[in-house]
């Protein structure tokens, strides 16, 4: 698996009891495969991994592997409060046919850097798949320092990081500082769709994208322009998507993509409780933005 380009992160449709709708999931994944995304990030935050039990996570991975048939590399989220549970999720992902795992330091008690390092080192030793560091302080309430990412990059099996994209003015310096310390070949990628274009143009290898998990075609155009060094075209395509970014910022990308998937008729699933779907006026805004941007 190459940790570069567009990694598309779809929702995981499920019923109110947390049973994954594998037919709807496979429809979502087929859109991504047909668009030739570089990889698929299953069971990320958009995939609501934290709300699914072990059996349902494994069912989701098995359905994804069956649908994709190896055509698109599959990165699977394995975050859990306990290290032994994260190991079991990783081993399940391996047994089901995943290509790599994405590990977030999920916590209730705030974690120290020493604890997070040991958590990752333990999982990397126990799971025979490449491990991607998931730096998502908005949900885990733990922020990786550059020093910790550099240390983890030396751990066998830890191969990449998914960082939140910084502001455009800071991204070049942050990327250069991190790249100076990590081992050669370690991939530095970014999430945060409304900021990721500048991170790609600055030299980030991968865009881990929420909107790419539902509308891959315009994101593939943007990524190709960025990777070709066509900054003007990449910025033009990104600016065209600003109405969607505005919705993400105002209402959360998770709620917006659930509403959009419902509007497309791909699933009637709602976000897992206690997350509530968008109210009707905002759903109408989502529909209007989709029409205006030609998203289908």
Catalytic residues: 134, 162
Q: Give the chain's radius of gyration (CA, Å).
A: 18
Please give the DSSP secondary-structure letter assigned to residue 265: T
Torsion angle of the four alpha carbons 156, 165, 105, 113, in this order, in degrees rounded to the nearest 10: 70
Token couple for 240: 């065209």
Residue 18 pairs with which residues in a beta bridge? none
Token couple for 287: 């529909």
Burial class of residue 109 (count of CB atoms within 10 Å of its CB; 0-12, 13-18, 19+): exposed
Q: Whole-angstrom Cα distance, residue 219 to residue 199?
A: 14
Token couple for 53: 């039990």
Please give the DSSP secondary-structure letter assigned to residue 252: -
**Beta strand ranges found along the chain (DSSP E):** 5-8, 39-42, 74-77, 100-103, 131-134, 158-164, 187-191, 206-209
| Counts of helices then strands in the chain (DSSP H, E) | 13, 8
Please give the DSSP secondary-structure letter assigned to residue 49: G
Residue with tokens 């995943």: 98
Identify which of 35, 50, 69 has the alpha carbon closest to the alpha carbon of residue 212: 35
């Amino acid at each position: 698996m190459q940790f570069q380009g567009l990694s598309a992160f779809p929702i995981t449709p499920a019923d109110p009891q947390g049973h994954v709708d594998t037919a709807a999931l496979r429809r979502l994944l087929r859109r991504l495969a047909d668009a030739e995304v570089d990889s698929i990030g299953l069971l990320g935050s958009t995939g609501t991994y934290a709300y699914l039990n072990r059996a349902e996570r494994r069912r989701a991975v098995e359905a994804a592997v069956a649908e994709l048939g190896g055509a698109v590399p599959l990165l699977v989220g394995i975050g859990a409060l306990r290290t032994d549970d994260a190991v079991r999720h990783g081993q399940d992902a391996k047994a089901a046919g995943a290509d790599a795992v994405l590990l977030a330091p999920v916590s209730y008690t705030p974690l120290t850097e020493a604890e997070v390092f040991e958590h990752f080192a333990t999982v990397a030793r126990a799971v025979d798949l490449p491990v991607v560091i998931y730096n998502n302080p908005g949900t885990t309430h733990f922020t990786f320092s550059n020093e910790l990412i550099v240390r983890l990059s030396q751990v066998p099996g830890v191969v990449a990081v998914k960082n939140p994209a910084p502001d455009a003015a800071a991204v070049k310096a942050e990327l250069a500082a991190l790249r100076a310390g990590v081992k050669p070949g370690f991939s530095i990628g970014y999430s945060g769709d409304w900021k990721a274009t500048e991170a790609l143009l600055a030299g980030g290898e991968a865009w881990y994208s929420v909107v790419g998990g539902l509308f891959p075609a315009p994101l593939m155009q943007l990524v190709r322009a960025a990777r070709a060094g066509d900054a003007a075209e990449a910025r033009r395509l990104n600016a065209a998507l600003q109405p969607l970014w505005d919705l993400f910022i105002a209402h959360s990308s998770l709620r917006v993509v659930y509403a959009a998937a419902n509007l497309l008729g791909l699933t009637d699933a709602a976000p897992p409780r206690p997350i509530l779907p968008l109210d009707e006026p905002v759903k109408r805004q989502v529909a209007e933005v989709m029409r205006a941007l030609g998203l289908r």
